[in-house]
Amino acid sequence: MREIQMVDLQRQYQRIKPEIDAAIQKVIDGAAFVKGAEVEQFARHLEAYTGAKHVIPVANGTEALQIALMALGLKPGDEVITPTFTFIATAEVVALLGLTPVVVDVDWGTMNMSAEAVARAITPKTKAIVPVHLFGQCADMEPLLRIAREHNLYVVEDTAQAIGARYTMGDGRTMQAGTMGDIGCTSFFPSKNLGCYGDGGALMTNDDALAQKIRIIANHGMTIRYHHDMIGVNSRLDTIQAAVLDTKLPYLDAYIAARQRAAAYYDKALGGCSRLDIPERSRHSTHVFHQYTLRITGADRDAVRQALSEAGIPAMVYYPIPLHLQKAYQDPRYKAGDFPVAERLAQCVLSLPMHTELDEEQLAYITEHVLRAVNA
């Protein structure tokens, strides 16, 4: 059996090596390492894929979130609601801009932001909601969008883990993750479902004025060369990364299907076990399985992880500490026990190897050892 990896980027590369190598070589030959034609070409292709009117590539997903909040013109003291069970980037940019992060609990089954919790957290200072489409399926956007409309709030989707996921509205319309709110932010970090060979990210929006503002902010706030009308940042997707992404984008649906096949195998092998819960599916969203995350309910999660590690199976804890319990984000408004679902998830989640290259032999070995470990 091949060695089991959490993410197998090497083998994925080998399958399309000639195409990737040629695309990278072309950039080197042209030497337009910044702002090469590939960047805009990839943006147009991602617009076609997602249905977003505008895609603006930037340097990474964290900066995409930061630029989104800057483009919305939020001011220090404005409150931004975000789930407490997520990667730190979401709250980090809120805090960096002097805005006030307001965290809310998540749903036990989908592990995504709960719309009821968001409704309860709204105050006169609330200006935006940042739902995170965690692990690859969309947060429940329809109620969130309704709440945002009622209270005149912006919605910025963090779709770093869910590019390609589709959400079906009550009227039957299906929309891509990242295209439902005012702005969608994604990451092309190598291990993400559409990953480049370094850092990368993008913003998506259907709003022409916002798109214009985002482009200006990402380019030093510059409208005409050396005329700076806004305070901006320097955030660019390298041409080489754009070339890699443009080569990989046509394979994204096949990559998602491969992840879904691995998830279906995990479901079938583990679904009958009473000591764990397999990932619950949203009724409204497809799941693109950035992660396949178990909740270990009838055994000690860390002991299970250790046993898997001894069997040569990597497994990861995303995320061990909710935002409100992180040292840097301590806030007199929050204490342990305030967000019981997120706190319980932090104790029991375990993500299994998930990537496009898992084969049946590996999946059989992994699931056999998971069952052995939880029943030990």
Ligand X SMILES: *Cc1c(COP(=O)(O)O)cnc(C)c1O
Binding footprint of ligand X on the chain (CB under 6 A):
60-62, 86-87, 89-90, 132, 158, 160-161, 187, 189, 199, 201
Residue number with CB closer to ligand X (282 or 367): 282
Residue number with CB closer to ligand X (269 or 316): 316
CB of 316 to ligand X, least distance (A): 12
Distances (CA, A) of 8 to 193, 251, 354, 357, 359: 12, 16, 9, 7, 12
Residue number with CB closer to ligand X (50 or 66): 66
Closest residue to ligand X: CB criterion: 61
CB of 375 to ligand X, least distance (A): 32
Pairing of strands 100-104, 126-129: unpaired
CA 227 to chain centre: 34
Q: How far apart are CA 26 and CA 61, in angstroms?
A: 26
CB of 60 to ligand X, least distance (A): 4
Residue number with CB closer to ligand X (132 or 177): 132
Residue number with CB closer to ligand X (91 or 348): 91
Residue 118: count of CB within 10 angstroms of its CB:
26
Residue number with CB closer to ligand X (235 or 362): 235
CB of 190 to ligand X, least distance (A): 10
Contacts 24+ apart (CB under 8 A), 326-330: 326/88, 329/91, 329/95, 329/101
Residue 224: count of CB within 10 angstroms of its CB:
7
- 91 and 140 Cβ atoms separated by less than 8 Å: no
CB of 365 to ligand X, least distance (A): 27
Residue number with CB closer to ligand X (61 or 181): 61
CB of 364 to ligand X, least distance (A): 29
Q: Token digits for 32?
A: 């337009």
Residue 227's φ and ψ, nearest 5 degrees, are: -115, 115
E-strand ranges in the chain read 54-58, 79-83, 100-104, 126-129, 154-158, 166-168, 174-176, 183-187, 201-205, 222-224, 227-228, 276-277, 292-296, 349-352
CB of 158 to ligand X, least distance (A): 5
Type of residue found at 235: S
